[in-house]
């Protein structure tokens, strides 16, 4: 019953566009219209969350998810999309297609050998067109409530990874400006510049949207 009621609530919130992700796509489309884009949903899960807010826009949509059990839901939720049950990190090196919109909905903390989007962001430049909008999840800080909800959140290993990625001495409190600087530095190493950005609080996480442009 609880799951049923949760699904009803989600459906209503999506229909009324009450989730923050709709503000994100309003901001993106005001800056860089996504109608007709070539899109990638990385770490797609079932395609029922963030993808739901923009799936009507791309001329081509590809969704990558490692869990075979998600295939049927992905096919139902994203009709017409190219579904790949694959390791997203490995696929990023195999894929020859280039995208001008990439949505990266990674886990909030540690997952397997990976942490947040720290390992994926540097390799997504294998997938970007000369101009590309990238939407990421980032975590500036976490209250005790969120830490209790997600057991591995801000664990010793998680904090160590945040120190290494952001180059900070305070991994529990990383400012949005520090985050933007870090992603900009990685972009520059891949011969891209950030020409526009947008932050929007989600819950624990913030959405960070980056408009990347290849340097000529």
Residue 135's CATH number: 3.40.50.150
**Residues 182, 215: Cα–Cα separation, whole Å:** 18
Residue-number span of the structural domain to which 168 is assigned: 20-214
List phi, psi (to 5°) of 23: -65, -35
Q: How many separate domains does the chain show?
A: 1
| Number of Cα atoms under 13 Å in the Cβ half of residue 35 | 5
Tokens of 62: 């590809």
Using only the alpha carbons of the chain, give its radius of gyration. 17
Give the C-alpha separation, 165 to 148, whole Å.
24
In a domain, 44, yes or no: yes
Tell me if 95 is assigned to some domain.
yes
Q: Is residue 15 part of a domain?
A: no
Q: Could you tell me if residue 6 is inside a domain?
A: no
In a domain, 14, yes or no: no
Per-residue pLDDT of the chain (216 residues; tens, 9 = 90+): 555 545 555 665 556 565 899 999 999 999 999 999 999 999 999 998 899 999 999 999 999 999 999 999 999 999 999 999 999 999 999 999 999 999 999 988 899 999 999 999 999 999 999 999 999 999 999 888 888 887 779 999 999 999 999 999 999 999 999 999 999 999 999 999 999 999 999 988 999 999 999 998
Asked whether the beta carbons of 140 and 153 are under 8 A apart, the reply is: no
- 13 within a domain of the structure (yes/no): no
In a domain, 37, yes or no: yes
Residue 64 belongs to a domain: yes
Could you tell me the two tokens for 199?
């932050």
DSSP secondary structure of the chain: -HHHHHHHHHHHHHHTT-SHHHHHHHHHHHHS--TT-EEEEES-TTS-SGGGGTTTS-SEEEEEES-GGGHHHHHHHSTTSEEEES-HHHHHHH----EEEEEE---SSEETTEETTTTTGGGGGGSEEEEEEEEEEE-S---HHHHHHSTTTT-HHHHHHHHHHHT-S-TT---HHHHHHHHHHHHHHTTEEEEEEEEEE-SSSEEEEEEEEE--
């Amino acid at each position: 019953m609880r799951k049923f009621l949760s699904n009803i609530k989600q459906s209503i919130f999506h229909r009324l566009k009450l989730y923050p992700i709709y503000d994100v796509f309003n901001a993106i489309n005001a800056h860089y219209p996504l109608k007709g884009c070539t899109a990638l949903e990385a770490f797609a899960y079932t395609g029922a969350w963030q993808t739901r807010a923009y799936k009507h826009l791309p001329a081509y949509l590809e969704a990558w998810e490692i869990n075979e059990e998600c295939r049927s839901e992905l096919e139902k939720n994203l009709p017409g999309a190219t579904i790949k049950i694959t390791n997203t990190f490995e696929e990023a090196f195999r894929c020859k297609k280039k995208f001008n919109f990439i949505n990266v909905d990674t886990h909030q903390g540690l997952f397997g050998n990976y942490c947040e989007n720290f390992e994926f962001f540097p390799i997504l430049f294998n997938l970007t067109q000369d101009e590309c909008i990238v939407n990421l999840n980032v975590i500036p800080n976490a209250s005790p409530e969120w830490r209790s909800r997600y057991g591995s959140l801000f664990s010793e290993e998680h904090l160590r990874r945040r120190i290494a990625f952001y180059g900070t001495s305070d991994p529990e409190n990383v400012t949005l400006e520090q985050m933007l600087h870090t992603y900009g530095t990685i972009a520059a190493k891949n011969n891209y510049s950030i020409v526009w950005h947008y932050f929007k609080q989600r819950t624990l996480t913030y959405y960070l949207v980056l408009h990347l442009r290849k340097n000529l």
